[in-house]
Structure 1
Amino acid sequence: MRRRTFLKAAAATATLGATLAAPAGGARVLAAPALAAPLVSFPQGFVWGCSTSAYQIEGAVAEDGRGPSVWDTFSHSYGRIANGDNGDTACDHYHRYAEDVALMARAGMKAYRFSIAWPRVMPQGTGAVNAKGLDFYDRLTDSLLARGIEPWPCLYHWDLPQALQDKGGWLNRDIAGWFTDYALAVTAKLGDRAKRWAMLNEPSVVAIFGHGTGGHAPGITGRLNCLKAIHHQNLAQGTALAALRAAGGAKNWQLGTVLALQPSWPVGGLDSNYPASLMWDALWNRSCLDPLFKGRYPEQLAADFAGIAKPGDLATIKQPVDFLGVNYYSRMHQQVDPQGLFGTGYGSAPEGTRRTGMEWPVEPDGLTEILVELQESYGNPPVYIAENGADYPDTVGPGGRVQDDDRIAYLRGHILAARNAIDEGCNVKGYMVWTLLDNFEWAEGYRRRFGLVQVDRKTMARTPKASYDWYANVVRNNGVPAA
């Protein structure tokens, strides 16, 4: 997205002066010291929470009637996942959800964005609802509400039923109806209590990595397949939004979706790389934003999508939303690459840019940039930061505690970037950290750790990290240390 010079730069990271006490064996969470004044405060009513996804944490992949998903198939295919990992057990959240909800409550979180596993609710993707599978989310919803945490269900976070993939999955436009039927079934069960519903999570990522480059499930490749997957997700989202808007009525549902939005900059600031950065921006960001808010595809890809879309599709896709979830991790630095799917490729961030354990650039001001772009070009919709976090190679100290100062610095910088966007007039309403638990990180398996809470892979014991206590104080104080 467009580059912008800000009068208010994102605050630099700082080392916290206090060392936070470790819980004994993870059995309990000790109160962390109060944040020292002064604080950079957030507006009253700002929503603080965390996000997870079903396949990354639930486990229990063959229990209570759950059917296989594309990620079950993909992760059990040789060589697809680092270290041969899979999500069969994940974090065992299916059995330990009460413990995880208690962790959220102890941190004072007021919102939890989780995803519903489509194959757990409808093992064949269509047809009869699996009551036992849906009952799990019924119990989870009640547990959250009992602790004062608002449930924010997301209907699709990448785990498509394998039965639907066998029918073409996101390459089959019939999936718009399949997804809508599933959405109506889930909201009919939980919609008396859950009021905020996200349709999809990161549809462009599903399309690019799952149907373009093949590094994610279902492992399909090709430019045309990538674009079909984007369009059919957009179509399914619009069809479901319209149906749920009609069905919600007096239930006062808030309906939205979640997009991965990351500014695309030309590597080295070179004019020769500028077209590549525009193309990647059109694919990653605007191929989902523009149809939703403007009823059209971006100029760079309009001709491609014209050969896929049918009359009336764009009108179906352009639905009003009550909120937009934004997932942000870093900018994307693009350069010309003739071998790339769209003639582009990733390049290096400016020299001296700090990096996470995943080698992603640490660029908090990119979050401010993307939020200002939503304000200036997309009507300033109500925005919730639905994912933001970092992987670092956590080191366990002598007391069994992870003192993850790098993660704390990353979170602080990005939370302040969100505050800067609010000062610019952006309609930012909340922040949800990615993520609560160290989990199954897709093709990276368990070697990447984004959680505020460490999970022992052998015992499944949960041990909060220093970042957990730090974030708990942010939540309780509705602000972050100014320095």
Structure 2
Amino acid sequence: MSVNKFLWGSATAAYQCEGAWNEDGKGLNEWDVFNHESPLNIHNEDGDVASDFYHRYKEDIDLMADGNQNTYRFSISWARIIPQGSGAINPKGIEFYNKVINYCLEKGITPNVTLFHYDLPNEMAKIGGWENREVADAFHEYAKVCFKNFGDRVKIWSTINEPRYYAYCSYVVGNYPPNYKADFGRFWKVLYHLMLGSAKAIQSYKELGMDGIIGIVHDNGNVELDPDTKEKELVRLRADIFYSRMVLDTALLGKLPDKLNEVLKDNSVDAFFLHEEDFPVFQKGRADYVGLNVYNRQYVTDYSQGKTEVFHNNVGKGSASKEGIRIKNMFETSFDPNTRRNLWGREVYPKCMYDCLMEMKERYGNVLVYITENGHGQYETPDNNGYIKDPERIKICGEFIDYMLKAREEGVNVQGYYLWSTMDLYSWINGYEKKYGIVRVDFKNNNRRIPKESYYWYKDLIAAKRDI
């Protein structure tokens, strides 16, 4: 299967936009439980209603179509399909996604479906989550249910959204459930099992003879060294495997990264969870494409001194904290004083789009790439009519897109761009104040939809680039 025209669209994730958290037979996921029960839910907000996409999907898809978008990236809630994570299938869940898929096709929009975007069924979390190899097998069975029910119409699949970042937030930063901090043993084990589950699903997709393509979505991990870095080769090796190659080598080359064991040793992690019998699965479960979620680079230098420390900012305005990490005996984040940062301490560095795409071509050849997320989070104040002007988003996303097109002109096989996000939604631990949408959702007024200035900008941009 090949998709000939360039795909211009936008993206969401199930927990962040659907709502209907306990409707029509859906099971609990770990975010339902975390947000209802944990004191670590710092903003005391949840996705119970979110953007109410579950009841308003037609309105949202109509807005995409009216905005010239020809594709929509969304995720399926595992617990809506299989409430306990394994076992009985929920027919109402199948029915809902059939309606979404069919309506996308009716409106000329290509569905791009992600199977897992952070929202692990709670029954899976109870048995250890992705630390437990049984969860990789349960994910594989869930994936086959989705392929058999939706694969006749869904032609672009991704297995897992950001396995590295999911493991990082859940087991290193500790701001996502199950909220372990700086536990690198768990981090690497979970990341390995995520890649194993992904490979099993891809292998089955191909063995089922499905007519489509299947890949994985990775948070851009292109490493850039501070010029003052002393042990350049060693720091790059460690950071590359940590941020990028554990996902991309495994998914695209079908094998774990060379020197992985050395890096695990440097990180004081026992590699007992690596099993040779899994290696043929990785080889047979190679991805057809990779989706890249591009927001920032990974700017690093030598480890200096002091204990392992994570710098993360889920507070936003009023905090001077910058995003980064120091990992004892590995490497640490370097902070470039000449680079812009957003209010959450993350670099705003559009050139990383070009750099990461050129690196993909250099390392992995003519691999098919979609930019599966790119966007800009900010605080917003509507005018008296509820309208949002967001020139900063337009400027920054425009710069990212220009760099993407430059890389494409220089031979990178990038064939799609998804702006994050389709509408305002629940931004995980950041709650609802951090806005990414190009359509405003008035959460205090029946979730009314109001397209923003950026919606019309994107509509016009797509019209102008329709023939690339």
Length-normalised TM-score, structure 2 = 0.88
Cα gap change, 1:270/1:479 in structure 2, threshold over 3 Å: closer, same or farther? farther
1:106 equivalent in alignment to 2:66: yes
Provide, for residues 160-196 of structure 1, a one-character-per-residue CA deviation record: whole Å limited to 9, x for no partner: 1010111121011122221111011112111111111
* Partner in structure 2 of residue 309 of structure 1: 274
Which residue of 2 is the match for residue 334 of structure 1? 300
Distance 1:70 1:407 in 2: 31
Distance 1:269 1:82 in 2: 37
Matched residue, 1:230: 191
CA contact (8 A) 2:9 2:69 kept: yes
Q: Residue 405 of structure 1 aligns with which residue?
A: 391
Give the SS at the match of 1:63: coil
Q: 1:384 aligns with which of 345, 370, 382?
A: 370
Determine helix, strand or coil for the equivalent of 1:376. helix
Whether contact under 8 Å (2:152, 2:211) holds in the other structure is no
SS across alignment from 2:436: coil
Q: 1:466 aligns with which of 446, 453, 457?
A: 453
Aligned partner (choices 276, 286, 293) of residue 320 of structure 1? 286
- Greater Cα offset, 334-343 or 423-432: 334-343
| Paired amino acid for 1:136 | F
Equivalent in the alignment of 2:338: 352
The CA deviation string for residues 102-161 of structure 1, in whole angstroms up to 9 with x for no partner, is: 110110111111000000110100111100112110110111111000111110001010
Q: In the superposition, relative to structure 1, how do residues 166 and 351 fare at CA in structure 2: closer, same or farther (>3 Å)?
A: same
Residue 138 of structure 2 corresponds to 178
Aligned length: 436
Q: Does 1:246 align with 2:207?
A: yes
Q: What does residue 441 of structure 1 align with?
A: 427
> Which amino acid in structure 1 is aligned with residue 108 of structure 2?
G
Match of 2:292, SS state, is strand
Equivalent residue number for residue 220 of structure 2: 261
| Contact 1:262/1:329, CA 8 A, preserved across alignment | no
Give SS of 1:259's match: strand
> Of the candidates 202, 205, 208, which is equivalent to residue 162 of structure 2?
202
Contact 1:125 1:178 in 2 (8 A): yes
The answer to whether 1:59 aligns with 2:19 is yes
**Structure 1 residue 458: deviation in Å?**
1.4
How far residue 400 of structure 1 moved from its aligned partner, in angstroms, is 2.5
Tell me how far apart the structure 2 counterparts of residues 307 and 124 of structure 1 sit (CA, whole Å).
29
Residues 255 and 282, structure 2, Cα contact 8 Å, conserved in 1: no
Structure 2: which amino acid aligns with 1:95? H
Residues 86 and 445 in structure 1, CA contact (< 8 A), matched pair in contact too = yes
The equivalent position to 2:414 in structure 1, one of 391, 406, 428, is 428
- Once residues 54 and 466 of structure 2 are traced to their aligned partners in structure 1, the CA distance between those partners, rounded to angstroms, is 32
Q: Go from structure 1 to structure 2 and tell me whether the alpha carbon gap of 1:273 and 1:451 turns closer, same or farther (over 3 Å shift).
A: farther
- Equivalence for 1:373: 359
Work out which structure has the larger RCO, using CA pairs closer than 8 Å and 6 or more positions apart in sequence.
1
Kept in 2, the 8 Å contact 1:152–1:194? The answer is yes
| Structure 2 residue identity aligned to 1:315 | P
TM superposition shift of 1:246:
1.1
| Superposed displacement of residue 314, structure 1 | 2.5
For residue 63 of structure 1, report the CA deviation from its aligned partner.
0.5
The answer to whether the Cα contact below 8 Å between 2:50 and 2:426 also exists between their aligned partners in 1 is: yes
Number of the residue aligned with 1:17: none
CA RMSD, aligned part only?
Answer: 2.1
| Match of residue 286 from structure 1 | 245
The amino acid of 1:224's aligned partner reads G
**CA offsets 1:358-406 (integer angstroms, 9 cap, x no match):** 3322211111111111111112210000000011222323442111000
Bigger drift between 457-466 and 216-225 goes to 216-225
**Pairwise CA distance, 1:348:** 5.4
CA deviation profile, 1:66-99 (whole Å, cap 9, x unmatched): 1111111222233323421111111111111111
User: What are the residue-to-residue correspondences of 1:78-157 with 2, within 5 Å?
Assistant: 78-157=38-117
Distance between the aligned counterparts of 1:82 and 1:405, measured in 2? 29
TM superposition shift of 1:213: 2.9
SS at match of 1:432: strand
1:451 corresponds in structure 2 to 437
SS across alignment from 2:415: strand
- Are the counterparts in 2 of residues 81 and 442 from structure 1 also a CA contact under 8 Å? no
Determine if contact 2:199/2:286 at 8 Å carries over to the other structure.
Answer: no
CA distance in 1, matches of 2:36, 2:233: 40
* 2: CA distance, partners of 1:387 / 1:192: 25
- AA aligned to 1:215 is N
Aligned partner of 2:456: which letter?
Answer: D
Specify the alignment match of 2:30 in structure 1.
70
The structural deviation recorded for 1:277 is 5.4
For 1:188 and 1:296, the matched residues in 2 are separated by 28
CA contact (8 A) 1:332 1:346 kept: no
Q: In the alignment, what sits opposite 2:312?
A: none
**TM-score calculated relative to the size of structure 1:** 0.86
Distance 1:189 1:285 in 2: 32
* Structure 1: tracts of 5 or more residues without a match: 1-42
Counterpart Cα distance in 1 of 2:331 and 2:41? 22
| Matches of 1:287 and 1:331, distance apart in 2 | 17
